[in-house]
Amino acid sequence: MWDILQQIELNNLRSRQTDAEGQVRNSDFRVGGVEHRISKLELVCQALYELLRERGGMTDEELRRKIREIDLRDGAEDTRMRPKPVHCPKCAATTTAGALYCPQCGAVIAPKYPFSP
């Protein structure tokens, strides 16, 4: 009887281990996707910056100032853009930043900046 209980417990542990290993693989896959997207964004940002510098005469100092200005919009200089809650222009309901439509009344909610999250 003891051996049977031990075998059941061992099978349960193996099953949980298999589940955990699957979750790790899934996480690794998702992290890889995020890293790829970040790398692509870095490339696009660099290309846009170089075009602006070459064609528009933008300086590195202007870019640094603009980055700082944007960084401070959420009240903290921490190299992050944290979205603030958005209020529906029609019914004033609070919605999540980045929402295209008000979940209460369906009004269109335009982000303040084109790339706002």
Residues that bind Zn ion (CB under 5 A): 88, 90-91, 93, 102, 104-105, 107
CA angle 103, 107, 109 (to 5 degrees): 85
The SS3 of residue 86 is strand
- Smallest gap from Cβ 107 to Zn ion, in A, equals 5
Q: Which is nearer to Zn ion, 27 or 94 (CB)?
A: 94
Q: Which is nearer to Zn ion, 66 or 84 (CB)?
A: 84
Q: Give 40-68 as a DSSP string.
A: HHHHHHHHHHHHHHHHH---HHHHHHHHH
Q: Which is nearer to Zn ion, 70 or 107 (CB)?
A: 107
- Smallest gap from Cβ 59 to Zn ion, in A, equals 42
